[in-house]
Structure 1
Amino acid sequence: MSTSATVVVTGPEGTNFFDPRLIIGPMQVGALVTAALFGSLVIQSYIYFTKFADSLGFKATVKIIQIGHFCAMISTLWTMTVTAYDDPTKLNVLPVGADITVLLTSITSFLTQASSGAKRASGSFYIYRLWRLSGNCLLPVVSEILCIAGQVAAFILVTKAITMSSFSRFVVEQTDVVLIALATRTICDITITAGVTWSLIQKRRNSIVKSTTIIDYLIMWTIENGLTTSLMTLSVMAVFLCLRETFVWFGLYLIQANVVANALLASLNRRLVLRKDRPLSDGDTAMVRSSLLCIACGIVHITPQRPIVIRVDVTHARDTESQIKTHDSFY
């Protein structure tokens, strides 16, 4: 009989053997994909820091966290492939590097979704952008509650993971907490995406004709980012429900942090596309273009444009009879 469903599998004759395909394999694939996404993040960070000067502190924080996440991934892979090479029972528990990656992944998602207190200074978006665009507090408050609940669940998981004695027992005991952490993130992403998209659609109806193309870009990019992050979390949840006793779901979860960070910088760097879309023309003033660019990163709130009422006073000057006679006397 196997001592752990995660590390040991029962063989044909009742013997126990180590199956690296379900343990080391998912972690290696996750580490390779994470490395590729980290390279993409480096390029996007270079573009952002060289082209834009707004709110560098918040984006630098996200970048530093991703560097720590990547280093923790390297440590995890080293432990699983080198340190535990001659003793697979060491993999009955998660390596310390894996615990750190869980913590940094949750912090990345929390910062990009719900750091509304710093967003006024940082110029970042998601919940803050939803609030500024919609002008309504209901959806932002609901999203904030969901995000905080997901972060609390993540902290509980990290605490339990550090003190675990068996990965299989940990998964069984913490199934509800894992599902809460993943479900709240997904619902939060969907709520933010739907709210921002609806707000942009409302502004499109009240905008000038030549601004609708820019708003269409913003709507498309909002949906793309929302689908990317929410589908990533849904994939982790689905794999967890089907293969919770293996490392497959955990290997997929390790990719999530870089997906969220890349989506963040992609949303910011897409302002370059709006700048180069077309030159300024009549009716498409620099003020309108600048304001719409700010919508992309949630810096300002643009109210719908109302019809401008212009009052024209016309004064007709008429010569009096005496003035006409005086005028005629000169001839």
Structure 2
Amino acid sequence: MDSAAAVSFDANGTIGAYQIGVLISCVLLGVTTTQTYIYYSRFPEDPAILKALVAFVWVCEVAHAICVAHALYQFTILDYGHAERLFSRLPISLDTAVFFNALIEQSVLGFFSFRIYTLSMKLYVPILIVFLSSVRFLASMVTFIITLRLPSLQSYNAHWSWLSIAQWSTSVVNDVVTTAALVILLYNRRTGVRRKTIALVDKIIVWTIETGMLTSATAIFMIIFYLTMKERMIWLGAFTVSSRMYSNSLLASLNSREALRSMNATQVSLHSFVSRPGIEILQTTTTNTVVDITAKFPSQPQPFQANRQCEEC
């Protein structure tokens, strides 16, 4: 590395920021793996299509982690002492991580759009979510192809930065729409049910908002740092974490059924449907609560039913 490059090279804002992102990403992969194990252990009777979705997302997450880790190895070991290479052609492994990130986001948003349909039995919001996620997916595929051909990261930033901004902005809008739709649908189902059941629904609403905020906040973080400090790699560090937010929101949604079972309960079914995951809350006369968010597959659609007795329970 020549002296001029050594002076201008900001290791903390480039390799350091990316390395922190990769480390956090690996920690979150451990969380994803743990949640996946918990899911298969506690919900063996879930439908095969749901198990396949979880397996697919986990495999994509592992592949994504391998890609971003390999890129870190190239930055810190293979290109050690050659700071100029950091801004030359990006490692193919990092380009490939964009591909897996898109697959994960598309799969998770498809799951949530399906859930919204089963709660509302209306198509306009799910169609909007699928449309936005498809636009995001196609833009990611274009980015993947472009970065494979461009000579450097600077070249991409100079001519195609709008594409990244468009992708992340679409993700923010889609996350907000998805979260808002789920919250509104769940809130509307609080009417006419027991107070303890309302507490359960409120808990689900809070979890829905929290997971939706995490994915949106990550995308907003990338937009801000890409626009203000494009020459650094803070935004790229956030990118390594973004897919973990989606996979963990999916698994947290599925595994929360086990946690909610420990709360008080009455019998109330929020919704179930033909060969598709729905939400069901069952309250018994015991202290055990059964909350099935995506595990019910009846032969015919069941309308929302609420036990209006014992309003003071």
> Letter of the aligned partner of 1:273 in structure 2?
A
2:102 is the counterpart of 1:111? no
Q: Residue in 1 aligned with 2:173?
A: 187
The structural deviation recorded for 1:71 is: 1.1
2:67 is the counterpart of 1:76? no
What is the aligned counterpart of 1:50 among 32, 35, 41?
A: 41
Residues 287 and 298 of structure 1: CA distance in aligned 2, closer, same or farther (over 3 Å): closer
2:287 is the counterpart of 1:291? no
In the TM superposition, what whole-angstrom CA distance separates every residue of 1:264-308 from its partner, at most 9, and x where no partner exists? 111111111111113x6xxx2487898226663385776343799
The structural deviation recorded for 1:206 is: 3.4
Q: Residue in 1 aligned with 2:198?
A: 212
Distance 2:304 2:229 in 1: 49
> Letter of the aligned partner of 1:296 in structure 2?
I
The structural deviation recorded for 1:44 is: 1.1
2:208 is the counterpart of 1:222? yes
Q: Residue in 2 aligned with 1:63?
A: 58
Residues 236 and 288 of structure 1: CA distance in aligned 2, closer, same or farther (over 3 Å): closer
Whether the aligned pair in 1 keeps the contact of 2:183 and 2:208 (CA below 8 Å) is yes
Query: Secondary structure of 1:297's match?
Result: coil
Query: Secondary structure of 1:19's match?
Result: coil
Query: Secondary structure of 1:291's match?
Result: strand
Whether the aligned pair in 1 keeps the contact of 2:261 and 2:291 (CA below 8 Å) is no
In the TM superposition, what whole-angstrom CA distance separates every residue of 1:64-123 from its partner, at most 9, and x where no partner exists? 111111111221111001111143332212111111111111111111002xxxxxxxxx
Whether the aligned pair in 1 keeps the contact of 2:260 and 2:291 (CA below 8 Å) is no
TM-score under structure 2 length normalisation = 0.83
Distance 1:103 1:197 in 2: 30
2:257 is the counterpart of 1:261? no
In the TM superposition, what whole-angstrom CA distance separates every residue of 1:40-67 from its partner, at most 9, and x where no partner exists? 1121111111001222111011111111
> Letter of the aligned partner of 1:28 in structure 2?
Q
Distance 1:228 1:88 in 2: 33
Q: Which has the larger radius of gyration?
A: 1
The answer for unaligned runs of 5 or more in structure 2 is 272-278, 282-289, 309-313
Whether the aligned pair in 1 keeps the contact of 2:267 and 2:306 (CA below 8 Å) is no
Bigger strand fraction: 2
> Letter of the aligned partner of 2:136 in structure 1?
G
Q: How does 1:1-331 map to 2 (within 5 A)?
A: 17-53=8-44, 54=46, 55-91=50-86, 92-114=88-110, 125-278=111-264, 284-285=266-267, 291-292=280-281, 296-297=293-294, 303-305=303-305
- Tell me: higher relative CO, structure 1 or 2? Use CA pairs within 8 A at least 6 residues apart: 1
Distance 2:140 2:206 in 1: 31
RMSD (CA atoms): 2.6
Equivalent pairs: percent with the same residue?
A: 23
> Letter of the aligned partner of 1:38 in structure 2?
L
Residues 47 and 241 of structure 1: CA distance in aligned 2, closer, same or farther (over 3 Å): same
TM-score under structure 1 length normalisation = 0.79
Query: Secondary structure of 1:46's match?
Result: helix
Distance 1:238 1:126 in 2: 27
Residues 298 and 182 of structure 1: CA distance in aligned 2, closer, same or farther (over 3 Å): farther
The answer for unaligned runs of 5 or more in structure 1 is 1-6, 115-124, 309-331
The structural deviation recorded for 1:247 is: 1.6
Residues 208 and 80 of structure 1: CA distance in aligned 2, closer, same or farther (over 3 Å): same
> Letter of the aligned partner of 1:94 in structure 2?
L
